[in-house]
Amino acid sequence: MSARLPPAIFLMGPTAAGKTDLALALARALPCELISVDSALVYRDMDIGTAKPSKAVLAEYPHQLIDIRDPAQTYSAAEFRADALEAMAAATARGRIPLLVGGTMLYFKALLEGLADMPAADPALRAELEAQAAREGWQVLHEQLRAIDPESAARIHPNDPQRLLRALEVYRLSGQSMTAHRQLQHGQSADPDASKAALLPYTVAQLAIAPAQRQVLHERIAERFQQMLDQGFVDEVQALHGRGDLHAQMPSIRAVGYRQVWDYLEGRLSHAEMQERGVIATRQLAKRQFTWLRGWDGLHWLDSLADDNLPLALKYLQANSILD
């Protein structure tokens, strides 16, 4: 282990890539504590559609930051960073290695680099932007973002409404683009200690896992969505729908799969259309995750289909001073 900083392991990758299986294998081999890095797994009563580990698995291998919010609540990257740092510190104090696993790349980025001091969400402005999107389409909002913040527009896909809305919201509220806020965060501010304070105080080894061939991932996504339906995914969303306090614009219901089943329950999609669009949306999510990962520094990639990923991962961790 590093003499200066305690160790931590990041395990990331696209949806359906096999992250959980590898994380459990590492937890069996090492004194790890698992911390979820997933914006959907934070919600209670959203189990099937999020591919949440089973109760039996969670009982044997507890995961921090799962089931910590009601679906009616929001959960920000800033809240995740604070919660994750607390969980990591607790694991380190027990002499264990924090193993952070998931596919929400924004959360990993927030941990590594901190977060710029941006304005808080404004529900009224958000509702105004959503109404405009409903009238004119998301592409129009994306063009607005391109005009004020080309760098963020290049990074945010028009089919990623949550991040698109946030980028426009930041500009409308502060008069500065999200890119400008981040430039201030990364050392272009008057305070030279600001960027240092944002750094993660751990020696971090970063693993990523995905099938070497994209078609294999697409097949896995389709198979898993069918399995979710077979396991009662529609009934799970029906229970959420029946609560009466949730709606389609909430972050929880916007989660991939949930919004398609929600539209099916409200009669906007047939069952076949729901299934097709759910698979397509999941593929789009995987594509966005790959886009994040292609520009990620310091990743050690593993092939989901290899049968020696655990020894390869352990060898990498040993070489990067994570293991004694």
CATH for the stretch 123-188 = 1.10.20.140
Average pLDDT, the chain: 91
Which tokens hold the place of 252?
């929880």
| pLDDT the model gives residue 249 | 87
Amino acid identity at 192 = P
Which tokens hold the place of 176?
């500065």
Q: Report the pLDDT averaged over residues 283-299.
A: 93
User: How are beta strands 203-210 and 63-64 bridged, if at all?
Assistant: unpaired
pLDDT higher than 60, residue 192: no
Which tokens hold the place of 19?
């992250």
Do the Cβ atoms of 40 and 236 come closer than 8 Å?
no
Residue range(s) occupied by CATH 3.40.50.300 in the chain: 7-116+201-213+298-319
Residue range(s) occupied by CATH 1.10.20.140 in the chain: 123-188
pLDDT higher than 70, residue 244: yes
Confidence of residue 174 (pLDDT cuts 50, 70, 90): confident
Residue range(s) occupied by CATH 1.10.287.890 in the chain: 214-287
Distance CA 239, CA 252 (A): 14
* Chain-centre distance for alpha carbon 323: 27
Distance CA 92, CA 88 (A): 6
Write phi, then psi, for 69 (nearest 5 degrees): -135, 150
pLDDT higher than 50, residue 142: yes
Confidence of residue 187 (pLDDT cuts 50, 70, 90): low
Which tops the pLDDT comparison, 43 or 170? 43
**Per-residue burial over 71-92, b = 16 or more CB atoms within 10 Å of its CB, e = otherwise:** beeebbbebbbebbeebbeebb
Confidence of residue 293 (pLDDT cuts 50, 70, 90): very high
Distance CA 169, CA 301 (A): 35
Q: Report the pLDDT averaged over residues 230-254.
A: 96
- Which CATH class for the 7-116+201-213+298-319 domain? alpha beta
Residues near 237 by beta carbon (within 8 Å), at least 6 away in sequence: 49, 258, 261, 262, 265
| pLDDT the model gives residue 186 | 58
Residues near 234 by beta carbon (within 8 Å), at least 6 away in sequence: 261, 264, 265
pLDDT digits (tens, 9 = 90+) for 148-173: 999 999 988 888 888 899 899 999 98
The strand order across the sheet containing 97-102 reads: 63-64, 32-36, 97-102, 7-12, 203-210, 299-303
pLDDT higher than 90, residue 189: no
pLDDT digits (tens, 9 = 90+) for 263-282: 999 999 999 999 999 999 99
CATH for the stretch 214-287 = 1.10.287.890
Q: Report the pLDDT averaged over residues 247-271.
A: 96
| pLDDT the model gives residue 195 | 44
Write phi, then psi, for 273 (nearest 5 degrees): -65, -40
Residue 320 CA: distances (Å) to CA of 8, 19, 240, 250, 316: 11, 20, 44, 41, 6
Which tops the pLDDT comparison, 258 or 152? 258
Which tops the pLDDT comparison, 34 or 186? 34
pLDDT higher than 70, residue 1: no
pLDDT higher than 60, residue 56: yes
Q: Report the pLDDT averaged over residues 225-239.
A: 98
pLDDT digits (tens, 9 = 90+) for 198-214: 479 999 999 999 999 99
